[in-house]
């Protein structure tokens, strides 16, 4: 249905929606109920949310969004429906044209989209229908109640519900309340099953003409990543400092436990090479937040799952990616380097240094240059393991230039990196000689952290050898 027709129905012929609502709630024939749900969903899908549309929909579909309608939809969900539908529709080379619950899920998705929290929080979440839907999702890999498009609608509905829940001050309370919905509904278990390779392969092989294929696989992974990210949305990393346990509520901690035991990180990492860039970005931002959590378990799972494969790192650090994707990829690398020197060999095998040179030379985004410098500082945190590689690749020369960058954060992290590059041995002193004038300028900066980083770096230039003492004295 086109937008113009939908608007005409909502504006001039709301009786049609009211009539469809009545059939959905009370028609004795279940096929009529499915058809009514599909028709209502079609009208709503062509309408953009607005106060006018919300009022018209709320009035026309009052019976649906209240106890009677919810009970009618719940009755449908409590019984299997796909078999008869497939007999009526037929199939396409063994693939069902639609799932038995597609129309009902499509309707619920549109209601959460149009009516927002008024329906999601006050009606759906407080009904047994919500938990019935979530239980049905746990059996997704083994049943055909939802086609791929129906599954996408179901995930979109869940995203709307959790997004509209806990829209207060955006703090820990919101994060915990969102985590509570996911945990209490056992959604983590369902998502882990959907992310398994065999299920994603099944969706990718589903004919595109029936709503399957690679794009649908990417949508599925993207939606799951977006849903799981919501409880961690306010937990934005600052200077790569892991989030404290005290800052997390009990449900948020429980969610983390479920994600660990469910192997969600393993599944997300394995999916990265098989989804489009948009889905990759959604997955990487979630992974970066999980790796920021205390304990290091998610970081270990990321590495064990092949998250540092060279081909994957190359895709993540591609300069043509959106800046947000590159920044989150750099956060992951920095956190791994910060957490333990044990990750140094795996990071080295990922071969990120040449890619970082390109980012420093080609990227105009200061946040990316700052993150690159921060990463360099972290791979020099525990030892001189990377000193030779920094010299041979020329990355150190680029970091030295960053000490004079126009971006304040880039200068701050460049000083941090240069200080660590001089801390463990004198191997890089000949190269670091070029940094002395820039470090002296940074000592005079207004930002205290930049001043302290620069002063520390200058001190480290005489920590392991006196070869630069004369140069430092002459530079003043």
CATH code, 436: 1.25.10.10
Does one domain contain both 267 and 393? no
pLDDT of residue 83: 41
Say whether 335 sits in a helix, a strand or coil.
helix
Structure confidence by residue, pLDDT tens digits, 288-326 = 999 999 889 999 999 999 999 999 999 999 999 999 999
141 vs 137 pLDDT, higher one: 137
Does one domain contain both 23 and 120? yes
Angle 228-409-352 from CA coordinates, rounded to 5°: 65
DSSP per-residue letters across 161-227:
HHHHS--SSSSHHHHHHHHHHHHHTTHHHHHHHHTSHHHHHHHHHS-GGGT-SHHHHHHHHHHHHHH
Assess whether pLDDT exceeds 70 at residue 9: no
Query: Is 303 part of a structural domain of the chain?
Result: no
In terms of Cα–Cα distance, which of 272, 199, 191, 275 is closest to 229? 191
How far is Cα of residue 126 from the mean position of the Cα atoms in its chain? 27
Does one domain contain both 418 and 323? yes
Return the structure tokens found at 127: 């009904």
According to DSSP H, which parts of 92-171 are helical? 102-115, 117-119, 128-137, 148-164
Query: Is 302 part of a structural domain of the chain?
Result: no
Q: Which segments of 307-426 are extended strands (E)?
A: none
Does one domain contain both 217 and 112? no
Return the structure tokens found at 108: 């619920």
Q: What is the DSSP-derived secondary structure letter of residue 383?
A: -
Dihedral sign for Cα 125, 128, 129, 135, please: positive
Does one domain contain both 16 and 157? yes
pLDDT of residue 368: 97
Assess whether pLDDT exceeds 80 at residue 246: no
Cα atoms in the 13 Å half-sphere on the side-chain side of 79: 10
Does one domain contain both 382 and 447? yes
Check: CB of residue 161 under 8 Å from CB of residue 112. yes
Which range is least confidently modeled, 199-208, 241-250, 366-375, 455-464?
A: 241-250
Query: Is 338 part of a structural domain of the chain?
Result: yes
| Residue recorded with tokens 């910060």 | 338
Does one domain contain both 263 and 371? no
Taken as a whole, the chain contains a residue count of 476
Does one domain contain both 273 and 367? no
pLDDT of residue 304: 96
Query: Is 347 part of a structural domain of the chain?
Result: yes
Say whether 95 sits in a helix, a strand or coil.
strand
Query: Is 116 part of a structural domain of the chain?
Result: yes
Does one domain contain both 126 and 207? no
Assess whether pLDDT exceeds 80 at residue 140: no
Does one domain contain both 174 and 159? no
Check: CB of residue 464 under 8 Å from CB of residue 427. no
Residues 128 and 184: their CA atoms lie apart, in Å, by 13
Assess whether pLDDT exceeds 80 at residue 229: yes
Mark which of 110, 134, 165 sits at the end of a domain.
165
Return the structure tokens found at 142: 């083994």
Between the ranges 65-74, 226-235, 402-411, where is the mean pLDDT highest?
Answer: 402-411
Check: CB of residue 325 under 8 Å from CB of residue 317. no
Check: CB of residue 427 under 8 Å from CB of residue 392. no
CA distances to 165, 180, 206, 411 from 170, rounded to whole Å, are 11, 15, 39, 31
pLDDT of residue 144: 58
The whole-number average pLDDT for the span 340-353 is 97
Say whether 135 sits in a helix, a strand or coil.
helix
Residues 238 and 371: their CA atoms lie apart, in Å, by 11
Please list, in sequence order, all residues whose beta carbon lies within 8 angstroms of the beta carbon of residue 310, skipping any fewer than 6 positions away.
Answer: 349, 350, 351
29 vs 105 pLDDT, higher one: 105
Check: CB of residue 226 under 8 Å from CB of residue 159. yes
Residues 442 and 452: their CA atoms lie apart, in Å, by 9
Does one domain contain both 272 and 170? yes
14 vs 73 pLDDT, higher one: 73
Query: Is 235 part of a structural domain of the chain?
Result: yes
Assess whether pLDDT exceeds 70 at residue 86: no
Alpha carbon distance, N-terminus to C-terminus of the chain = 75
The whole-number average pLDDT for the span 236-240 is 48
CA distances to 21, 151, 319, 331, 433 from 443, rounded to whole Å, are 71, 57, 31, 26, 16
Q: What is the tally of structural domains in the chain?
A: 3
pLDDT of residue 146: 84
318 vs 13 pLDDT, higher one: 318
Q: Which segments of 345-391 are extended strands (E)?
A: none
Mark which of 141, 165, 189 sits at the end of a domain.
165
334 vs 19 pLDDT, higher one: 334
Say whether 91 sits in a helix, a strand or coil.
strand
Assess whether pLDDT exceeds 80 at residue 409: yes
216 vs 234 pLDDT, higher one: 216
| Residue recorded with tokens 């209601």 | 111
Say whether 92 sits in a helix, a strand or coil.
strand
Structure confidence by residue, pLDDT tens digits, 46-55 = 877 778 788 8
SS3 content of the chain, % helix, strand, coil (to 5): 70, 0, 25
Which range is least confidently modeled, 73-82, 227-236, 257-266?
A: 73-82
Does one domain contain both 141 and 196? no
pLDDT of residue 209: 79
Assess whether pLDDT exceeds 90 at residue 184: no
Query: Is 272 part of a structural domain of the chain?
Result: yes
Q: How confident is the model at residue 10 (pLDDT cuts 50, 70, 90)?
A: low
Say whether 125 sits in a helix, a strand or coil.
coil
Mean pLDDT of the chain: 87
pLDDT of residue 96: 55
Check: CB of residue 159 under 8 Å from CB of residue 227. yes
Residues 352 and 365: their CA atoms lie apart, in Å, by 19
| Residue recorded with tokens 């207060």 | 168
Range of the domain at 274: 166-295
């Amino acid at each position: 249905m086109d937008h113009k027709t939908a608007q005409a129905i909502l504006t001039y012929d709301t009786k049609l929606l009211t009539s469809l609502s009545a059939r959905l709630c009370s028609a004795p024939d279940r096929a009529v109920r499915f058809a009514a749900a599909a028709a209502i969903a079609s009208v709503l899908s062509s309408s953009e949310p607005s106060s006018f549309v919300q009022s018209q929909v709320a009035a026309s579909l009052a019976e649906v969004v209240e106890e009677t309608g919810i009970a009618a939809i719940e009755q449908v969900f409590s019984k299997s429906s796909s078999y008869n539908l497939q007999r009526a529709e037929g199939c396409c080379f063994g693939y069902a044209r639609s799932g038995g619950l597609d129309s009902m899920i499509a309707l619920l998705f549109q209601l959460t989209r149009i009516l927002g929290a008024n329906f999601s929080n006050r009606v759906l979440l407080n009904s047994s229908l919500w938990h019935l839907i979530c239980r049905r999702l746990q059996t997704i890999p083994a049943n055909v109640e939802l086609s791929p498009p129906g599954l996408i609608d179901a995930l979109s509905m869940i995203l709307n519900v959790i997004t509209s829940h806990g829209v207060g001050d955006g703090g820990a309370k919101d994060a915990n309340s969102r985590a509570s919905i996911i945990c209490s509904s056992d959604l983590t278990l369902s998502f882990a099953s959907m992310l398994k390779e065999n299920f994603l392969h099944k969706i990718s092989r589903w004919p595109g003409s029936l709503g399957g294929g690679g794009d649908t696989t990417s949508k599925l992974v993207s939606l799951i990543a977006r849903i799981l990210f919501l409880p961690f949305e306010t937990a934005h990393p600052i200077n790569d400092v892991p989030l404290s346990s005290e800052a997390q509520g009990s449900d948020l901690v429980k969610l983390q436990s479920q994600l660990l035991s469910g192997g969600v990180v393993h599944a997300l990492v394995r999916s990265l090479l098989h989804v489009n860039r948009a889905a990759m970005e959604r997955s990487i931002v979630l992974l970066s937040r999980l790796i920021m959590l205390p304990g290091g378990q998610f970081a270990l799972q990321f590495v064990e799952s092949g998250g540092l494969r060279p081909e994957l790192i190359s895709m993540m650090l591609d300069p043509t990616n959106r800046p947000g994707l590159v920044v989150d990829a750099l956060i992951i690398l920095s956190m791994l380097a910060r957490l333990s020197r044990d990750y140094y060999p795996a990071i080295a095998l990922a071969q990120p240094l040449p890619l970082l040179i390109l980012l420093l030379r080609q990227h105009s985004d200061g946040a990316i240059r700052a993150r690159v410098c921060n990463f360099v500082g972290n791979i020099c945190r525990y030892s001189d393991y990377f000193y030779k590689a920094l010299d041979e690749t020329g990355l150190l020369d680029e970091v030295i230039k960053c000490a004079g960058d126009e971006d304040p954060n880039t200068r701050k992290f460049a000083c941090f990196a240069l200080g660590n590059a001089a801390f463990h041995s004198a191997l890089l002193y000949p190269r670091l000689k070029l940094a002395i004038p820039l470090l002296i300028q940074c000592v005079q900066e207004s930002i205290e952290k930049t001043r302290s980083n620069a002063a520390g770096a200058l001190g480290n230039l005489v920590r392991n050898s006196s070869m630069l003492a004369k140069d430092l004295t002459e530079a003043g």
